[in-house]
Every structure is written in structure tokens, then in C-alpha cells.
């Protein structure tokens, strides 16, 4: 089997050395070279045709965003961005431009987090390699059709405690897909929205704020003991599983649980789906969007068994149909729809459940 051929791009010699060492020591990954700026990166991609490029954002001569546009246009390379925590919005711009994954960029003096970096980097490269080149732009362009300007704030429902929960799971390709979904959500039913998106450590807060601007209602990074409110959204932070406890129309709390990883992930969507099904039964809508692996599929089985609604993104509009595909194969998805129909389907199920209550 041919190795995954990777080009490493970063203006820091230390970062290039760290990334190259990690990847070179990994079976079936071959580092074919490195570049120090965007100009070199674009030239080397055209010459050596790598499968995957790890790309820094802030570089001299040509930054990572501009280089990314050339790489996506001129090659089949899939791009993994090395992103700084102090500039998350640029990271999301890179996803809109065709990057397929991102990880937190290593910094000098980061020896204590080398194990996590190694795990995240290898996972990201393997995930990127598995993505079809034609999914880099077409699906991302569709998913990024959410309005760039903040939506006018939506009114909060009169009922502060939610009577319904919408729980959404996503991974690779998920940030843009979630923006598309949140742009179509409403606060006209007493509903709280909970999200498990597989993000690097430190990105949940900025991503929650971004979803809030797109949706026109408040979206928060979840905290342990936080009480759910209707018309609010909550994003699970990295490093803990998010669960809920409570009942429809009564105090419902978030619990962040530092348990073992599930599917190699923490947070995993399954604990959220399963506890939501236990607490809310038929008043839960579970949604699984694009992503590698099978996270959320077993939790969706629990939601469907409890009488809740279940929605999966279809294969054509998914960057990776792993997670939604696993739910479909288990027979857990009642509705399988393209990304631009997911919010419509959520609203329809919420209205139906509200009318039946």
C-alpha cells in the first residue's frame, strides 16, 4: 500500500522539525519535504504532488490562507491547517477556503503537550488523506452559504426551561455544516440546542460565539452545572463528555464528565444523546452531521428507541460520511437529508412535537 505523502509548511524551523519527526515516525506516512512560506509551498505542491499538506497560517511572503487557495485550485492535496489559539476566526476562514482539518499549532516550550500533538497531528493527516479531493471545495462552499453578517437577534421563548432538546454531533467538515444548520434554526419553540463538534482544545468558546452570530441567538461554551435555557445553544468543550440531567419544562443541567475516551474521542456525542434520551424521551431530536468514524450512531439508536426524532446528513453533501453513514447502517436515522435541509427538518420535528404535547 502506498504511503501518505505529506508536505510540511511552516516558517518556524522548530515547528517544521517537530511535525516532520512525528510524521516520519508514523507507519505509512512519508514526509516528502518542507517549505518555509506560502510561495515555496505552492511551488512544491505543483512539483511534488503531495497527498496532504500541513499548512501554517501566519507566514512571510504569502500567508497560509492565500497559499491554501492556490493549493486547492491547482492540486488534489488535502490541507491540514496548523492554527493558533489567538486567531480562531482565520482558522474558520481557512475551512471556508477548502482546508479539511485543523489542529492547534505547537509552540516553543510545549514539551508537556507533545503526546497530544502527536495524536492530533497523525489523526488529522490520516483523516485528510481519506477525504476525496472533490469534497474539499464543493461541499465546503455549500456549507458556508450561511450569511456572513450577524443575523438579527431572535426573541427568546417565554418558557425559560426547555421542553425539547436538539442534540447535534459532527466532526470533519462539521464547523461549516453547523453554521449552515444554525443559520436556519429558530427560537419559536421552547428548545435548547446542544452540540458536540470535535474541536482542538481551546476552540469551543470561539466556535460557540461564531454559531451565535450566524444563528441570531446566544450560543455558549458549556460548563459543568450550567442550566439549559430555551432559545440558547451550548457547545461541548474539549476534554470532557457532555451529558444532561433533568426533565422537559423543568431544570435541566449540563454535566461535564471526565470519563474515558469513546471512539478515541472526548467529548463523544454518544453520552449526550443517551442521557438526553433518558431525560427527555420523545422530546429529543438527534442530528448527526459529516464526520469520520461512528460517533453518535449508538446514541442515535437510544434516541430513536425513546421515541425521539433522528436526522442524518446525506452522503453527497458530507465531507466524510462516516458518522452519519454509521447511523444509517444501524437503522437509527429516520430522516436522511442534504445539509441545506437539515435545519428545515429540525424545525418540522420541533413543531410536530410541540403540537403533540
**Which residues are catalytic, by number?**
171, 198, 295
Paired sense of beta strands 241-245 and 253-257, if any: antiparallel
Termini Cα distance of the chain: 56
CA distance 288 to 5: 31
Yes or no: say if 343 and 211 are a contact pair by the CB < 8 Å rule: no
Q: Where on the phi/psi map is residue 173: left (φ > 0), alpha (ψ -120 to 50), or beta? A: left
| Burial category of 330 from C-beta neighbours within 10 Å (exposed 0-12, middle 13-18, buried 19 and up) | middle
Query: Contacts for 349-352 with beta carbons within 8 Å, 24 or more apart?
Result: 349/285, 349/309, 349/311, 350/164, 350/166, 350/189, 350/191, 350/285, 351/189
Q: Where on the phi/psi map is residue 132: left (φ > 0), alpha (ψ -120 to 50), or beta? A: beta
CA distance 292 to 130: 9
Q: At what angle do helices 204-215 and 88-97 cross, to 10 degrees?
A: 70
Cα 49 to Cα 76, 161, 276: the distances in Å are 8, 54, 46
Amino acid at each position: 500500500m502506498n504511503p501518505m505523502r505529506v508536505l510540511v509548511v511552516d516558517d518556524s524551523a522548530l515547528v517544521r522539525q517537530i511535525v516532520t519527526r512525528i510524521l516520519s515516525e508514523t507507519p505509512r506516512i512519508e514526509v516528502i519535504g518542507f517549505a518555509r512560506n506560502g510561495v515555496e509551498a505552492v511551488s512544491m505542491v505543483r512539483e511534488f504532488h503531495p497527498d496532504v499538506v500541513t499548512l501554517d497560517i501566519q507566514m512571510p511572503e504569502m500567508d497560509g490562507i492565500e497559499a491554501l487557495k492556490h493549493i486547492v485550485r491547482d492540486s488534489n492535496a488535502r490541507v491540514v491547517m496548523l492554527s493558533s489559539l489567538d486567531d480562531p476566526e482565520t482558522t474558520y476562514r481557512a475551512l471556508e477556503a477548502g482546508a479539511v482539518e485543523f489542529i492547534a499549532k505547537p509552540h516553543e516550550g510545549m514539551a508537556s503537550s507533545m503526546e497530544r500533538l502527536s495524536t492530533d497531528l497523525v489523526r488529522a493527516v490520516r483523516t485528510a488523506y481519506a477525504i476525496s479531493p472533490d469534497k474539499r471545495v464543493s461541499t465546503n462552499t455549500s456549507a458556508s452559504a450561511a450569511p456572513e453578517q450577524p443575523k438579527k437577534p431572535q426573541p427568546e421563548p417565554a418558557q425559560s426551561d426547555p421542553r425539547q432538546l436538539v442534540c447535534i454531533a459532527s466532526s470533519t467538515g462539521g464547523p461549516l455544516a453547523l453554521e449552515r444548520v444554525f443559520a436556519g434554526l429558530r427560537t419559536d419553540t421552547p428548545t435548547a440546542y446542544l452540540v458536540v463538534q470535535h474541536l482542538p482544545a481551546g476552540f469551543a468558546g470561539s466556535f460557540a460565539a461564531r454559531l451565535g452570530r450566524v444563528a441570531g441567538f446566544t450560543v455558549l461554551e458549556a460548563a459543568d452545572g450550567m442550566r439549559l435555557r430555551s432559545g440558547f445553544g451550548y457547545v461541548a468543550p474539549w476534554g470532557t463528555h457532555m451529558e444532561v440531567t433533568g426533565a422537559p419544562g423543568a431544570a435541566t443541567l449540563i454535566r461535564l464528565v471526565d470519563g474515558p475516551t469513546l471512539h478515541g474521542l472526548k467529548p463523544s456525542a454518544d453520552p449526550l444523546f443517551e442521557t438526553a434520551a433518558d431525560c427527555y424521551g420523545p422530546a429529543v431530536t438527534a442530528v448527526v452531521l459529516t464526520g469520520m468514524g461512528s460517533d453518535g450512531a449508538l446514541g442515535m439508536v437510544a434516541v430513536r428507541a425513546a421515541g425521539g426524532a433522528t436526522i442524518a446528513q446525506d452522503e453527497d453533501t458530507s465531507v466524510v460520511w462516516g458518522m452519519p453513514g454509521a447511523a444509517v447502517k444501524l437503522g437509527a436515522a429516520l430522516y436522511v437529508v442534504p445539509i441545506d435541509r437539515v435545519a428545515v427538518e429540525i424545525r418540522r420535528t420541533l413543531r410536530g412535537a410541540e403540537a403533540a404535547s
